[in-house]
Amino acid sequence: MLGGTLGNRTAAHLQLIEAATAQPDVMRTGQGILLITVARSYLRVSSSSSSESDLTDYGSVAYEAAEAAGQNIFSSDDRGTRVEVWPGSIQAAAWIVGSSAALVLAIGNYGAFWDGLATIREHARVAAKFIERRLRSKASEDGNRVLSTRVTTRQLTALERLHRQVTEKRLSPDEAASKALRILRAGDEGADPQLIRAIEHAFGAKELGEKRLEADTEVVSLAHRVKDELLVETAPKERRQLRPRKLVIERAVGSSRVVRRFE
């Protein structure tokens, strides 16, 4: 059934679907606030352990580093922190997240939109590298070899890439504005009017406001339907093997409460 469904899609539709599902991660809080990944650090070490105490040690280092580094990007009220540590060959990832609205306000503090974005992205890159260094130090202290690392600035990098494509005339301002809003929101959810205005102005696009989102909703929804079909068809039918639990440490945006749990 799935093969027939996909076979009926036009090439143009499939290109739109691919573009719609290729966006960086966007999280949603329980309060309905859209969050973007400002900075992310990942590290994998040679140690093989499922011990909760070992995972907690790495998680605590990553969380404290992310909280300290994040102070140079947003205030604690405007950002959140999430850390995940996986057992086995220990892997740790730390995210510094912020709301799209907070990002726009922070950019405004530096004057021109693209100058502000470049400044914040550099702060985010430095923050991600700081977390990486702290995790490397932890691994070295424990006598473990670092197998791989990765630092990213996710949506910030994606926005700068779109800006470059407009200046190189590979994208129109309107195309870039629509793609940027797709990056900064979750699926076919709405977006803050202030965010829409800021993005349209930054790219020199037409001021369509929420109408821009309405034109994009059908494409994103179609992408989600096809993605769901693929997941259903490719889901393993055999019972999944039980795996050791991972550690999650997080502080939500605007909260001082730190939650630690194994899941």
Kindly list the domain boundaries of the chain, sorted by start residue.
2-256
Fill in the DSSP letter of residue 1.
-
111: left (phi over 0), alpha (psi -120 to 50) or beta: left
Give the mean model confidence (pLDDT) for residues 134-139: 97
Long-range contacts for 159-164 (Cβ within 8 Å, ≥24 apart)?
A: 159/117, 159/183, 160/114, 160/117, 160/118, 160/121, 162/203, 163/114, 163/202, 163/203
Quick check: 253 and 80 in contact, CB under 8 A?
A: yes
- Residue 229 tokens read as 């079909």
Asked if residue 138 has pLDDT above 60, the reply is yes
Q: What is the pLDDT of residue 254?
A: 85
Q: Grade residue 48 by pLDDT with cuts at 50, 70 and 90.
A: confident
Is-contact 24 158, C-beta < 8 A? yes
**What Å distances lie between residue 222 and 24, 225, 240, CA to CA?**
18, 5, 29
Higher pLDDT, residue 194 or 217: 194
Q: What is the CA radius of gyration of the chain?
A: 20
Does the pLDDT of residue 10 top 80, yes or no?
A: no
Could you tell me which of 89, 138, 92 has the C-alpha nearest to residue 248? Answer: 92
Burial 176-186 (b: 16+ CB within 10 A, else e): bbbbbbbbbbb
Q: Assess whether pLDDT exceeds 50 at residue 169.
A: yes
For 4-18, 89-103, 129-143, 153-167, which range has the lowest pLDDT when averaged over its residues? 4-18
3-state secondary structure of 84: strand
Q: Pick the more confident residue, 28 or 204.
A: 204
pTM: 0.77
pLDDT at 32: 45
- pLDDT at residue 210 greater than cutoff 80: yes
pLDDT at 31: 45
What is the reported pLDDT for 215? 64
Q: Which of residues 100 and 223 earns the better pLDDT score?
A: 100
Residue-level pLDDT at 15: 37
Q: What per-residue confidence (pLDDT) applies to 66?
A: 97
CA-wise closest residue to 44 among 95, 94, 92: 92
Mean pLDDT of 229-258: 69
Distance CA 172, CA 14 (A): 20
| C-alpha–C-alpha distance, residues 171 and 162, integer Å | 8
pLDDT at 243 over 70: no
Terminal Cα-to-Cα distance of the chain (whole angstroms): 35
In angstroms, the CA 155 to CA 216 distance is 19
Half-sphere exposure of 225 (CA within 13 A, CB side): 12
Q: Does the structure show a pLDDT above 90 at 108?
A: no
Q: Would you say 96 and 79 are in contact if contact means Cβ atoms under 8 Å apart?
A: yes
Mean pLDDT of the chain: 79
